[in-house]
Structure 1
Amino acid sequence: MNNKQSTLLAFCLITSLFFLWGFAHNLDPILIPHLKKSFTLTTTQATLVDSAVFAAYFVMALPAGLLMKKAGYKAGIIAGLFLFAIGCFLFVPAADMQSYDFFLVALFVIACGLTILETAANPYATVLGNPETGTQRLNFAQSFNGLAAALAPVIGARIILTKGYTKEELNAMSETVRKTALAAEAATVKMPYIVLGIVLIVIALIFAVIKLPAISAHKGAGPASKSVFHTFRHRHLAWGVVAQFFYVGAQVSVFSLFILYATKSAGISEVKAADYLGACGIAFLVGRFAGTALMQKIAPPVLLAWYAVINLMLCTVAILGTGMITIYAVIGICFFMSVMFPTIFALGIKNLGADTEYGSSLIIMSIVGGAILPRFFGYISDVTGNIQHGYIVPFICFAVIALFGYKGHRIQTTALQTKAVPVI
C-alpha cells in the first residue's frame, strides 16, 4: 500500500470515530427526558447527565494528551475505544439497580473514553495531509458527527421513549406497581448500549491490527513549552480554549434540552420532538458540508464570526417566539453552529508545532463548558418557569464565539524565556 492509500485508509478510520462519539453524545438528549421521568427529576437535576459527561473532558484531557505524547495516537485511540465500551456495558447494572447515580457513573466512564478519542482524532485529522487544508479536512471528518446527530435521536427515541408509560398511567398505579413499571422502563436503555459497546470492541481490534501512518505536527516548530500551562504563551490558543468552552456549552444546551424545550414551546409530544431533534441533526450535517464548501471561498474565521452573529438573532427568536417558529429557529441554530467546533479547534491549534498535543488537550478540556453552562440553562428555566428563557445562555455563548472569529483567532505567540548560560 503506497503512502496516499495508507493516508486515505487512516483518514476513513479516523472519520468513523467522529460518527461513533457523535452517536453516543446524541443519545444523551433521549436519556435526559427518559431519566427525568423515571427518577422524577427537575430540569436542573436532569442536566446532571451533561455534567457527568462533560466533566470527564476536564478530568481526562491532560492525561489523554500525555498518553498521546508517550505512546502515540494509535495507542490513544485503542485505549479510548475500550474505555468507551466499558462505559456502555455499565448501563446494564445501572438499569438493573435502577440507580440514577450509577447511570451518571456509566456516562462519566463513556466520556473518559470519548475524551481520549477526541484528543487523538481531532489533531490527527487536522495534520493528516496538506496543512493549508487542515480546517476543511477536520470539518469534513466532523460532518460524520453531524450524521450521527441526525440518526441517534430518531433511533434512540423509538427504542427508549416509545416504551414508557404516560403520566396518567403512572398516576393510576400503586406505589409498588409504579416502582416496578419505572424499573422496566429504565431497562429499555440496556440493549442499544450493549450493541454499541460490542461495535466499539470490534473497531478497537481493527485499529490494533492495522498500521496508521506516522504524522508530525512539529516541523519547524521550535521548542515545546516547559509545561502544559506554558502553552498559553500562544494567545490564539488561549482564545480558542475560551471560545470552545462557550461553544460546547451552547451546543449541549441546544441539543440535550431540545426535547424538553420543544414540548413546552411548541406543545408537541416527546417522540415528535425527537423527530425534530433528528431534523436538527440533519441541519447540523448539511451545515457541516456547506460550511466546508464555503471555506473554499470565505476565510474560516470570517465564516465563524458571521455564523455566530446569525445565531444571536435566532436565539432571540427562540427566547421570544411562540409555537413552531421556535422549533424552526433552533433548527437554524443547529445549521449555523455546525462548523464551530472544528473551526475553533483548528484555529486554536494552528502553528502550535511542538505544543500541539498540549494545545489539543487544553481545547478538549474546555469541553467542560458542556457540564457547566447547561446547568445555568436549566436553572434559569426552573426559576423563571419558562424553558425558553434558558436560551439566554446560548446567546451569550455565540457572542463570545463571534469575538473569537473577529479577532481572537489571530496567531500571537510569546517567545519562551530562557536563562542565559555562562560560557566556561
Structure 2
Amino acid sequence: MWGFITCLNDILIPHLKAIFDLSYTQSMLVQFCFFGAYFLVSLPAGRLVKKVGYQKGIVFGLVIAAIGCLMFYPSAEYHSYNLFLSALFVLASGITVLQVSANPYVTLLGPAASASSRLTMTQAFNSLGTTVAPYLGALFILNEAASSMTTAASADSVKMPYLFLTAILLLLAAIFSYLKLPKVDSAVVFEDEKVTGSAWQYRHLVLGALGIFVYVGAEVSIGSFLVNFLGETDIAGLAETEAAKYLTYYWGGAMGGRFIGAAVMQKLDAGKVLGFNALLAVLLIALAILSSGALAMWALLLVGLCNSIMFPTIFSLALNGLGKHTSQGAGILCLAIVGGAILPLLQGVLADNLGIQLAFVLPLLCYIYIAFYGVSGSKSTHKTQ
C-alpha cells in the first residue's frame, strides 16, 4: 500500500503540472511536501514507536495515511494546489510512522546476517504496489483527466481513487490491530533500564543515513521526471497517458530485482551487491544523458532494476549492531528519506535551466556515493551489542 501511494505521486506530478500550469520546480513541490514529512515526523515517530511498540505504530501510521487520502476529496472540490500539498503532507506523515515501525521490526525478526535479505523480501511487496500504481493511475486519473473538458473536472479525477485508498488503509489498520505479532525484546527499552550512548556514535549508521538521503532522492527524481522525459520528441515523444504506463517497467524492475536479490543476498555479501548495483546505475544514467531515442529511454527505465535492493540493503546495513539504539537509528534513517523532497526540487531547477536530459546528472552523482557506501562505508566499527 505504501509503495502504491508513493508511486502515485509520479502520476500526480504531470497531472497537477498540467492542471495548475506549473513549472518543473513548482510541480516538484509534490515530492517536497511528501518527503518533507519524513524529515519533520521521523524523530517524533521514533519516540512514538518506542512508547507504544511496533504493532501499534503500524496501526497509527495506517490511520494517519487514511486521513491524508481522504483530504484529496476537498482538495479537488476546491481546486486548490495548496490543499493538495497539505493532503500529501498528512498522507506522508502516516507513511513515515509506518516505515519507522515496520522496517526495523522486520530486520529484528531473525538473525542479523540475513536482515538485508528479509527486508529486501518485504520491500519486494512494496515494489508490487509501485509497479501496479502507474498503470492504474494512468487509467483512472490521467485517462479521466484527458477526457475532461475543464481543469476543474480534471482535478476531480483524483477523488474516487483516493477515497478507495482511504477505505483500504482503514481496513488494514483494523486487521493489524487484531493480529498477534511476535514481540522483539532485543530492541525494547524497559522503563527502569538506562541506555548509554546514542545511535549517532555509529559511523556506519551516519554514512548509511546519507546513503538513504541520496538513494531516495535519486530514485524519486528519476520516477518524477520519467513521464516528461519520455514525452520529449528526441526520446520517445509519448503522450502523458502512454508515458505513465512505461513507469511500470521502472518500478517493475525494482520488484523483480528485489525477489532475486532476497535470494542472492542469502549467499553474497550485501555491501558488495549494493556497490555493484550502484555502479551499473551510474553507467545506465550516463547512457541516458548522452544518447537519445529508444536507447536513452530503456537505459533510464533499467535503472529501476539496479534500485531493487538498495533501500532495504542500506537500511539493514546501517542498523546492523545497534542493539538498544535500533529504534533511534531507524528514526534517523527515516529522517534521511527527506532526500526525496530536496533532490527532485534541485533536479527541477536543473531541468528548468539546463533541460530535462542534462538534469539527470544529479542522480548519477548520488549513485556514485551509494557505490562507496556498499564497498567501504557500510563496514561497522562497533562490536554488536
What displacement does 1:357 show?
0.3
Alpha-carbon contact 1:266-1:326 (below 8 Å) kept: no
Contact preservation (8 Å) 1:240, 1:409: yes
Hey, what does 2:207 align to over in structure 1? 239
Question: CA 1:156/1:236 → structure 2, altered by over 3 Å: closer, same or farther?
Answer: same
- State the AA in 2 paired with 1:410: K
Q: C-alpha separation between the residues in 2 aligned to 1:346 and 1:31?
A: 31
Query: Matches of 1:151 and 1:253 in 2, distance apart?
Result: 19
Question: What is the alpha-carbon distance in structure 2 between the residues aligned to residue 198 and residue 233 of structure 1?
Answer: 42
Matched-pair contact (CA < 8 Å) for 1:233–1:414: no
Does the 8 Å CA contact 1:240/1:363 hold for their aligned counterparts? yes
1:183 lines up with 2:164 in the alignment: no
The alignment status of 1:369 with 2:350, answered yes or no, reads no
Pick from 123, 137, 145 the counterpart of residue 164 of structure 1: 145
Q: Distance in 1 between matches of 2:210 and 2:254?
A: 22
Aligned length: 380
Is residue 141–residue 157 contact of structure 2 (8 Å, CA) maintained in 1?
yes
Report if aligned partners of 1:118, 1:364 keep a CA contact under 8 Å in 2: yes
Q: Deviations over 1:42-84 (max 9, x none)?
A: 0110000000000000000001100111111111111101000
Secondary structure of the residue aligned to 1:257 is: helix
Pairing partner for 2:241 from 271, 288, 292 = 271
- Residues 321 and 383 in structure 2, CA contact (< 8 A), matched pair in contact too: no
Q: SS of 2:303's equivalent? A: helix
Q: Secondary structure at the match of 2:219?
A: helix
Once residues 368 and 195 of structure 2 are traced to their aligned partners in structure 1, the CA distance between those partners, rounded to angstroms, is 32
- Is the 8 Å Cα contact of residues 258 and 308 (structure 2) preserved in structure 1? yes
State the Cα deviation string for residues 336-390 of structure 1 (Å, max 9, x = none). 1110000000000001000000000000000000000011111111001x20111
How far is 1:165 from its partner?
A: 4.0
Deviation, 1:141, is 0.4
Counterparts of 2:174 and 2:188, CA distance in 1: 31
**Whole-Å Cα distance in 2 between the matches of residues 138 and 337 of structure 1?**
14
* Alignment match, 1:296: 266
Match of 2:352 in 1: 382
Is residue 225–residue 355 contact of structure 1 (8 Å, CA) maintained in 2? no
Give the aligned residue type for 1:72. G
Structure 2: runs of 5+ lacking an equivalent:
none
Out of 249, 252, 263, which is 2:220 matched to? 252
Residues 337 and 225 of structure 1, relative CA distance in 2, 3 Å threshold: farther
User: Could you tell me which residue of structure 2 aligns to residue 224 of structure 1?
Assistant: 195
- Please report how far the alpha carbon of residue 134 of structure 1 lies from its aligned counterpart in structure 2 after TM superposition: 1.2
**Residue in structure 2 matched with residue 109 of structure 1 by the alignment:** 90
Q: 1:225 deviation in Å?
A: 4.3
Shift of 1:414: 9.5
| Match in the other structure for 2:76 | 95
- Structure 2 distance, partners of 1:261, 1:404, is 29
* Larger-Rg structure: 1
Identity %: 40
Aligned 8 A contact 2:28 2:345 in 1: yes
- What residue is the counterpart of 1:122 in the other structure? 103
Contact 2:112–2:320 (CA<8 Å) still a contact in 1? Answer: no
Question: Which residue does 1:391 correspond to in 2?
Answer: 360
Check the 8 A contact 2:33/2:89 in 1, yes or no. yes
- The answer to whether structure 1 residue 43 and structure 2 residue 34 are counterparts is no
Tell me the distance in 1 between the aligned counterparts of 2:196 and 2:157: 48
Partner in structure 2 of residue 344 of structure 1: 314
When structure 1 is superposed on structure 2, of 291-300 and 394-403 the one drifting more is 291-300
Q: Residues 234 and 414 of structure 1 are in contact (CA less than 8 Å); yes or no, is this contact kept in structure 2?
A: no
Question: CA distance change for structure 1 residues 219 and 99 in 2, over 3 Å: closer, same or farther?
Answer: closer
Q: Return the alpha-carbon distance in structure 1 between the equivalents of residues 292 and 253 of structure 2.
A: 21
Partner of 1:208: 177
Matched, 1:286 2:256: yes
The one of 48, 60, 72 aligned to 1:67: 48
Kept in 2: contact 1:217–1:356 (CA 8 A)? no
Are positions 1:85 and 2:66 aligned together?
yes
CA RMSD of aligned residues (A): 1.9
Whole-angstrom distance in 2 between the partners of 1:109 and 1:234:
31
On the 8 A contact 1:225/1:231 being kept in 2, the answer is no
Deviation at 1:126, TM superposition (A): 1.0
